[in-house]
Amino acid sequence: MRFTLFAAAIALAVPVSAQAQDHSAHQGHAAHQDHAAHMAMQAALAQENRAGDKARDQYRHPAETLAFFDVKPGMTVADFMPSSGWYTRVLVPYLGAEGRYIGLNPDPALISDEGGKAYSSKLVGNFAAQSPTWALSGAPVENLSSADLGEARNGTVDRVLIFREMHNLKRWGSVGAELDRIHALLKDDGMLGIVQHRAKADASDDYVTGGKGYLRQADVIALVESHGFELVKAGEVNANPKDPADWEGGVWSLPPSYRGADDDSERARRAAIGESDRMTLLFRKKG
């Protein structure tokens, strides 16, 4: 009887031990991936071609922001309205040769605002002209308008990132159509990361039309969720509680623009505040 019980105990212990080994191996692999991602990020941030970018790291928190969005080397990432390439110069080396970077610009045909239409029509060309001067190596780079996506690209992207551009899409009247295209572009488990200048929760409706740069966080969440996404998490990675977020000149009143700062003392006061308060939101694509 004792022998039978002893044998049964051994038989039960074997699969438990195997499960423990599998779990330990999985943890070890995850830790290795996390370490590799950390090292890739440190190398990307230290690149010489970022010499002029680093002053804004204290406000844009690239390492923490991309970690919040769970962006990993090897992913396919679309950077919406990359503009002068500040995040391009981080993402391309960070994603690495196994990844893919898409500089995705808005479709001028979707924009009702004439000024926005004229501005956005130049973005793809501007990126093409500037990007060769950035001396980037890492992920292959594509540069296109959302008008060029096509059905073949649907479901091919891991992350779409929108850095401080939701106010432009709102005031141009194209935000809904662009969110629909982004939804189609993402894989079934793909996610959308947004950083956006944040208005106070009780800001008036006429202050958050997009022209001031600030939007209410609850409004952004509701808008994005109405286009087939669900909020995964909201974070304070890019928060700045010193920003009153009520500037008559909008977000451009703060560094680096200093709109309306007419003397050195006022410029110094605003420099002490720093750049804008920003929401950081991560959404998952719903089916």
Q: Are residues 9 and 148 in the same domain?
A: no
Q: Are residues 85 and 182 in the same domain?
A: yes
Q: Are residues 78 and 153 in the same domain?
A: yes
Strand, coil or helix: 176: helix
Q: Are residues 57 and 149 in the same domain?
A: yes
Confidence class for position 22, pLDDT limits 50, 70, 90? confident
Question: Token digits for 114?
Answer: 């004439």
Tell me phi and psi for residue 282, to 5 degrees: -125, 125
Strand order in the sheet with 100-105: 141-145, 100-105, 76-80, 157-163, 186-197, 278-285, 229-235
Mean pLDDT for the stretch of residues 56-83: 98
Q: Are residues 37 and 178 in the same domain?
A: no
Q: How far apart are CA 149 and CA 169, in angstroms?
A: 18
**Structural contact between residues 240 and 274, judged by C-beta atoms closer than 8 angstroms:** yes
Strands 278-285 and 229-235: antiparallel
Q: Are residues 81 and 123 in the same domain?
A: yes
Domain with residue 76: its CATH number is: 3.40.50.150
Q: Are residues 127 and 140 in the same domain?
A: yes
| Count: domains in the chain | 2
Render pLDDT for 80-104 as a digit per residue (tens, 0 to 9).
Answer: 999 999 999 999 999 999 999 999 9
Render pLDDT for 186-227 as a digit per residue (tens, 0 to 9).
Answer: 999 999 999 999 999 999 999 999 999 999 999 999 999 999
Q: Are residues 23 and 80 in the same domain?
A: no
Q: Bridge partners of 281?
A: 194, 234
Nearest to 175 by CA among 143, 215, 144, 141: 215
Range of the domain at 252: 51-285
Q: 229: alpha, beta or left, given left = phi > 0 and alpha = psi -120 to 50?
A: beta
Q: Are residues 81 and 141 in the same domain?
A: yes
User: Is residue 229 over pLDDT 60?
Assistant: yes
Q: How many CB atoms lie within 10 A of CB 219?
A: 16
For 37-68, the DSSP string reads HHHHHHHHHT-GGGTTTGGGHHHH-HHHHHHH
User: Is residue 3 over pLDDT 70?
Assistant: no
Q: Are residues 18 and 106 in the same domain?
A: no
**Structural contact between residues 167 and 195, judged by C-beta atoms closer than 8 angstroms:** no
Q: Are residues 27 and 58 in the same domain?
A: no
Mean pLDDT for the stretch of residues 132-137: 93
Q: Are residues 161 and 66 in the same domain?
A: yes
Question: Token digits for 278?
Answer: 């920003």
